[in-house]
Copies of this chain bind each other. A is one copy, B any other.
Amino acid sequence: MANKVTLKQIAQEVGLSPSSVSLVLNNRPCRISEENRKLIKEVAARNHYVPNQIARSLVMRESRTLGLIVPNIESRFFASLAGSLEKRCREDGYALFITSSGGSADDDLELLRQLVTRGVDGVFLVVGDEFSDDRALREEVSHLPIPAVMVDRAIEGLECDKVMFDHEMGGYMATRYLIEQGHRRIACLVNARRSNTGRKRLAGYERALREVGLPIDARLEFESEYYIPSAYEASEAVLATDATAVFASSDNIALGLLKRLHEMGKSIPGDISVVSYDNSAADVLFEPALTAIEQDPGVLAEHAFGCMSKRLAGRGGRRAEEVVLEPELIVKGSVLELTKHN
């Protein structure tokens, strides 16, 4: 294992001062002879010199490092978001600390402190979806010495930049589409109890129904956690209704539903139509592919970085910026068009 080489050592070897070496290696405009420049660069390369960013950060008062907290890196959506964001950060010379909290506000707080203490220049927060006690977290966020951007979801009532897809709109679009295809008895399978985004999607679902004068029937609203087995369990009841279509408010929920449908020998869209959310890769396996509300994590990442970038450059306004993105309905083949019979 090689040793760490410092500026001073390089300076010693070339017989110049550390300052000169620093100047040259950073390509600062300065008057160092061409001869010495070359020498310095050569010696640095030969010794595998890598500047100590830690030391540099200390004096420069910036680390060119950002942080990200997601609830669960193993979820496809967050992994993709993290990947896009990391790439985007790197393009601008920032490194990204990706951390995964498990979803509780306490963990979020702990991670946030870790990030701040490590000197990140800013943080992206994907927090605030669960209904846990977030007072300490709010308090911390509001006293943050660095810019923060809330992504995909937010802690309500906190003055802070936000970038997210319109979840209510997503629920609305999905339901609206089903209505347009002639469906009247539309069930939904959502995580409204424990998730703000789920609750919003449910609100969109209800708005679409209300808008065309369809009744909001509590017997058609089903609850599921955001993972496959939970949705699988809940699906039996869904299928016992007279619904001709289901709005599944997440990809995992849709997958649980599909598994149940498959087992019961029901076909899509022949027996029942389905609109999903966040097409997951698994989706390619199904014939027909699922019609779904799509949120491109890359777009989310791009806008989030944009906000952050502005703040870092001091170009952010005094007030928090709020970016709301519209999701997209991707029509594939899981919805049957019903002939109207009224």
Contacts and interface: CB of A to CB of B under 8 A. Distances in A.
A95 B114 contact: yes
9 contacts: A2-B145, A3-B145, A54-B54, A73-B73, A73-B83, A74-B79, A86-B100, A95-B118, A262-B287
A279 interface: no
Nearest to A93: B114
A105 interface: no
Interface string A243-264: 0000000000001001100110
A87 interface: yes
B118 A100 contact: no
A210 interface: no
Interface string A270-305: 000000000011101101000000000000000000
B285 A259 contact: yes
A310 interface: no
Interface stretch (A21-29, A45-53, A149-157): A45-53
A254 to B, nearest CB: 10
Interface size class of A (residues with CB under 8 A): 35 or more
Interface string A215-231: 00000000000001100
A240 interface: no
Interface stretch (A10-18, A57-65, A165-173, A178-186): A57-65
Given A58-B55, A114-B95, A118-B53, A83 B76 contact: no
A138 to B, nearest CB: 13
Contacts of A55: 58
Contacts of A319: none
